[in-house]
Structure 1
Amino acid sequence: MAKLFRITTVPVSVEKLLGKQLTFMNQFYEVTAISSDKEDLERVGQELGVKTKAIEMTRKITPIQDLKSLWQMYCYLKKEKPGIVHTHTPKAGLIGMIAAKLAGTKVRLHTVAGLPLMETSGVKRRVLNLVEKLTYACATKVYPNSYGLKDFILKEKFCPPHKLKVIGNGSTNGIDTAYFDPALFSPQQKKEIRQQWQLEDGDFVWIFVGRLVKDKGINELVAAFRQLTEELNDSENKNSTIDNRRNRAPKLLLVGPLEPELDPLLPETLREMEHNKNILTVGYQKDVRPYLAAADALIFPSYREGFPNVVMQAGAMELPSIVTNINGCNEIVKNNENGMIISIKNKDQIYNALLRLMANLSLYNKMKSQAREYIVQHYDQKLIWNAILAEYRELTNK
């Protein structure tokens, strides 16, 4: 059985980005997951039933550690002689693709699931551009996980068109629509989840899932939500200009970790998150389904994405989504059909979208009714897995 090595920078990407896709591929190849943090990686490998190899890599620019990682990766690939090396995430892509080329691996694949350089400039941008070009030059095939990302790569001339391919309708791993299914949660369970976080039956619960960082649009989201709650509170004893509000109090549920060392939020955003009783911050959650089940709609105002899993997950759980007009998001969401699309870094548009979806019950119900069907038809996990497997077979047969 041929060896397939899947490489990410940190184990959480193995677990969350790839997950049971590795278990599926292990039926056809001898799969090894390579990443940092031996202890955590071994735990993930045991859960997925695949071999693991720990090679320390960092997410930052660390030349000395990167050279050490490259040497260790090269030695391991040279020794094991995998048939396919498939990398994910920027640092793992750079180290994995260079090492695989030097080691003589014939099939070298890299998936692009988002580009941090989109939000950088100056010297750092030039360095990151060079990193992408070098990674793609060492790969035999590059897979942007959205059509918007493919267009961006072509525009920046990171590699020739013949190397690029979007698999299926996009996405790195698709969505397990049997796992993300609102039918798994009874009305009583949803009520209990809401009660756990002191959410009233009549509250309209917005949910954000992801890292609580600047690039995810959290500063603008919190500012817009503050404006929304203040205006709704002011209108309670006046003639409200908000028609059809139906007395639903807005609540914002933030599910995800803070990363102050990489992409910190503004001090005023952190203060608002701490003191606004309508904002609930619950941290990282291994299983986000109960929180999606308890919510009414997703708000995801990210600056950049590859192909965001959370938008697919929310759709599969029958939630309409408000997303920014960026690649991936604007492919999953069709404006005014299963959600709404707004401009990036625009607090006013976030505010107006929050208000509109809360106030317009018929629009909300229309979007909710179409959310899950669209995901099942276009992004079911089995469709993506089989498309990737077919790609592997075609490339190895060549």
Structure 2
Amino acid sequence: MKKKIIRITTVPLSLSGLLKGQLRFMSNYYDILGVSSRGDDKHLDKLIELEGIPTVAVEMTRKITPIKDLVAVYQLYKVFKKEQPFIVHSHTPKAGTLGMLAAFLARVPHRLHTIAGLPLVEATGLKRTLLNTVESMTYACATKIYPNSYGLKDIILKEGFTTEAKLKVIAKGSSNGIDTSFFNPEDYKDGTKNASLRASLNINPDDFVFVFVGRLVTDKGINELVSAFETLHKTQKNIKLLLVGTYESELDPLRPETLNYIDNNNTVINTGWVDDVRPYLAISNALTFPSYREGFPNVVMQAGAMELPCIVTDINGCNEIVKHNETGIIVPIKDAQALLKAMTSVLEHESASKKMGQLCRIHIVNNFERQVVWNALLSEYNALN
């Protein structure tokens, strides 16, 4: 019989999106069970179709909700005691805390947690103290911690959350790698399709398009991005800012002036959520990703694989994918002026920018192909006894 592994995330889209394909691959070697909140539109139920694995719903919130969290720990404990897994492997902050605690209480032999970002790095005061305590508790309950970038590993050690013996980066980083045959610019050489999408978004043929993909929140640097774009547009008229993502107004709202500019300028296009980002990357000229914190950002790998030059902030993950002035440009966080300078440079040196994009794809193909990441994680599972 195959040994059982339970993979757990706070919301189901993390199982089906961030780990796309990985669960189906692992099910060839292990009995995989997915656990997450139910989610909207029955996303958890769709995992049976998408990944070919059974699922169990346990409601978890992304906020600090002590009573609901305790209920979730008890529900997870019951699932673990019933299923008797060989491994519980959690992703995302809340699922990590609740999942590792419940797995510890249920005496699951191998309790693994992947770190794909640390929200606490932007917290201060009592909230930072609380988050530090929770983070340390999560690591204490886990038997192994997998930061998905070397920069994250350094931060964890610096903060003293756990010992180096518990930490390991899988392959060269990333939670899932990237399918570079799927994110392939050669599939989007059809000028007619690209022109049609551009026209539908009110983007002119000669417009230079800066694209952002992700949550439209403060922590992603959207305030600085919109500010830099607004300044740039005063002197460069044939530019557009394409925002592919949704707001999270309750968790991390943008400044009112940022929202006002987005809503009232036809130079900024907000598509909302899209199921497939490739067409939007294909009609763009450069990725702008001024995030304050990341683990190992899929968006930068996706854009780079599509041969876009990437403007990113000097944070872990981003600075492990992008080589400054070779495959993109790295700028300081929360620095609208530095971002403006980088955007101006990419716009005014289009030939050099295209070359950076081509080199970025080569770098990603050589280092972050998803099958390499999957095989490395499988080897990690197989080494446990």
Normalising by structure 1, report the TM-score.
0.94
Q: Which runs of 5+ in 1 are unaligned?
A: 234-248
Q: Which runs of 4+ in 1 moved over 3 A?
A: none
In structure 2, the partner of 1:117 is 120
Residue pair 2:37, 2:57 contacting (<8 A) in 1 also: yes
CA distances 1:118-174 after superposition (whole Å, capped 9, x unpaired): 000100001100111000001110000000000000000000110000011100000
Instruction: Give the secondary structure class of the aligned counterpart of 1:42.
Output: coil
Q: Does 1:61 align with 2:64?
A: yes
In structure 2, the partner of 1:99 is 102
Residue pair 1:252, 1:279 contacting (<8 A) in 2 also: yes
Residue pair 1:10, 1:37 contacting (<8 A) in 2 also: yes
In structure 2, the partner of 1:34 is 35
Distance 1:13 1:100 in 2: 20
CA distances 1:103-123 after superposition (whole Å, capped 9, x unpaired): 111111000000000000100
Distance 2:378 2:277 in 1: 28
Which 10-residue stretch deviates more, 206-215 or 14-23? Answer: 14-23
Amino acid at match of 1:53: V
Distance 1:359 1:292 in 2: 20
Q: Does 1:205 align with 2:206?
A: no
In structure 1, the partner of 2:245 is 256
Distance 1:42 1:142 in 2: 28
Distance 1:178 1:192 in 2: 24
Amino acid at match of 1:151: D
In structure 1, the partner of 2:256 is 267
Structure 1 residue 19 displacement after superposition: 1.4
CA distances 1:352-392 after superposition (whole Å, capped 9, x unpaired): 11101100133213202212111100000000000000000
Structure 1 residue 231 displacement after superposition: 2.3
In structure 1, the partner of 2:315 is 326
Normalising by structure 2, report the TM-score.
0.97
In angstroms, what is the RMSD of aligned CA positions? 0.9
Residue pair 2:223, 2:255 contacting (<8 A) in 1 also: yes
In structure 2, the partner of 1:343 is 332
Instruction: Give the secondary structure class of the aligned counterpart of 1:231.
Output: coil
Which one of 112, 128, 132 corresponds to residue 129 of structure 1? 132
Which one of 151, 155, 160 corresponds to residue 152 of structure 1? 155
Q: How many residues are aligned here?
A: 381
Residue pair 2:308, 2:354 contacting (<8 A) in 1 also: no
Amino acid at match of 2:30: Y
In structure 2, the partner of 1:389 is 378
Residue pair 1:33, 1:45 contacting (<8 A) in 2 also: no
In structure 2, the partner of 1:82 is 85
In structure 2, the partner of 1:244 is none
Identity of aligned residues (%): 54
Q: Does 1:302 align with 2:291?
A: yes
In structure 2, the partner of 1:231 is 235
CA distances 1:317-340 after superposition (whole Å, capped 9, x unpaired): 111100000000000000011100
Structure 1 residue 45 displacement after superposition: 3.0
Distance 1:196 1:378 in 2: 36
